[in-house]
Structure 1
């Protein structure tokens, strides 16, 4: 399979031809991009040694060697259905690049907007807040929180030693060793502090969605995706225990994606506040410590 021939191409033409090939081969997106054009742009620019965050000179002509480099990445994307973040070794979250590989899910969550937009005011008036990121994976949410609140101390827990090894590399990459502490264990097991904010993008995919997933998801660690028949195995524990680890008026913010309807049906005593995102995304709720206690979750 050769997507780009030895003909002269500009960057723009190479991207558009790659995008058309992606569409022709029914690729799935959602691991950092939403369209064939965005995915093709990311891969072509990476092959050329350019950042996808900086607009290139689209009229620049490619050399034969550059075309070969592009083909190598583009052909693997089609043949092996590997997400672009794993092919490039880099994912993006809240405007910053992170190391990304198969030890943890590709960085992606609408909570990037929540974090970048000053936590929607949830931490207003709190000096030196302590934040806990549950199921941190590669650490991007924890690190983004530390960037957003320079006075915050952030703890980040995960059950996977492999994911925490990747998170440690990202902590070092962003020079956050003094701000972000990584804890190994399931949810609250390694935790001994109380927090102003507990945030989590946990496994929340239900059994039906797992069975219907596109091939791209098979490259990610399944323990970061599946969460029982209704997708709520870990969220149930969070709702039961989070109040014990929150400061008064502290908040719990959790992404549950398509499992939101099942969540509301399972916990009718809780009044979930569902966050809205200007840049797209859904399925993220907020509850205060007081709301959790009033819900009397057992």
Structure 2
């Protein structure tokens, strides 16, 4: 049997993905192959070794599924967010790099305003895989969290991620719609709510369309859940508390017009210059 070498296998995967209309085919092929080998991507280029039939079979199996435009994170069952690894599977929203700005801003607020407190309480609304709350607990050791999600499957995945990230003792997950059923006070509320207008859902990228619609669709104008959070956040915040929320493109102007007992401090832009994180303060 003819030997197949690493880079030859990589190139065949790139061509396959290209032919199936996958964006960034080389990067996708590199990630898939390095995942199967359990090696960093550079290994493929520095060690052009023969590949076993088992590796070839596993590689081709994932390539075939990726060719159907199933998101790579669902196929590999993992996603890296803010430097931490999270288990992910179909039916749970995939964390995005731009949401890391939410963590950066929360850590900045903690360092500037909350370090005198011995215990920081946060609420994570729409936790999904748990990436926001868990990352913040990893960053701030005095932080304790309640995280909510309407999806039973999301709560199950988030619980698993809390265990693997060793913060299970500092977080409680609740399957509920938006806020906890009982009013508790928090120093920070964080959320990446669904904010895509309903009319845009049908035109989303094929891969985004495989994610749960409840994590994407935000009503006619995309602001349904955002409005509910802004309206009720005051009841759940301590004085000198903060609400940090991810928003969609061009929604900043609408949020600035919303009536609220909270003060809108700033709307931070993401890497693409799009207004992305709204920060509110309760006096």
Bucket of the pairwise TM-score, normalised by the shorter protein:
0.7 to 0.9
Corresponding residue for 1:214?
Answer: 205
- Counterpart Cα distance in 2 of 1:261 and 1:212: 22
Residue 230 in 1 paired to residue 221 in 2?
yes
Corresponding residue for 1:38?
Answer: 27
Corresponding residue for 1:294?
Answer: none
Residue 85 in 1 paired to residue 81 in 2?
no
- Counterpart Cα distance in 2 of 1:221 and 1:51: 31
Shift of residue 116, structure 1, vs aligned partner: 4.7
Aligned length: 275
Alignment TM-score, normalising by the size of structure 1: 0.82
List per-residue Cα deviations over 1:110-159 (Å, max 9, x = no partner): 23244257623345342221111100011111100100101111111111
Corresponding residue for 2:231?
Answer: 240
Corresponding residue for 2:43?
Answer: 56
- Counterpart Cα distance in 2 of 1:179 and 1:268: 34
Corresponding residue for 2:247?
Answer: 256
Contact 1:110–1:280 (CA<8 Å) still a contact in 2? no
List per-residue Cα deviations over 1:251-271 (Å, max 9, x = no partner): 111112225256347538875
Name which of 4, 26, 44 aligns with 1:8. 4
Gap change, CA 1:262 and 1:196, over 3 Å in 2: same
Larger deviation, residues 212-221 vs 162-171: 212-221
Gap change, CA 1:271 and 1:132, over 3 Å in 2: closer
Contact 2:129–2:154 (CA<8 Å) still a contact in 1? yes
Instruction: Detail structure 1 runs of 4+ shifted over 6 Å in the superposition.
Output: none
What secondary structure, in the 3-state scheme, does the structure 1 residue paired with 2:103 have? helix
Corresponding residue for 2:127?
Answer: 136
Shift of residue 220, structure 1, vs aligned partner: 1.6
List per-residue Cα deviations over 1:70-120 (Å, max 9, x = no partner): 111111101x21101111111111111111002311122423244257623
What secondary structure, in the 3-state scheme, does the structure 2 residue paired with 1:244 have? helix
Shift of residue 209, structure 1, vs aligned partner: 2.2
Alignment RMSD (CA, Å): 2.6
Gap change, CA 1:168 and 1:271, over 3 Å in 2: closer
Name which of 253, 258, 266 aligns with 1:273. 266
List per-residue Cα deviations over 1:151-184 (Å, max 9, x = no partner): 1111111111111011111111112121111112
**Residue segments in structure 1 that go unaligned for 5+ positions in a row:** 1-5, 29-34, 291-298
Shift of residue 193, structure 1, vs aligned partner: 1.7
Corresponding residue for 2:108?
Answer: 120
Residue 25 in 1 paired to residue 20 in 2?
yes
**Residue segments in structure 2 that go unaligned for 5+ positions in a row:** none
Alignment TM-score, normalising by the size of structure 2: 0.86
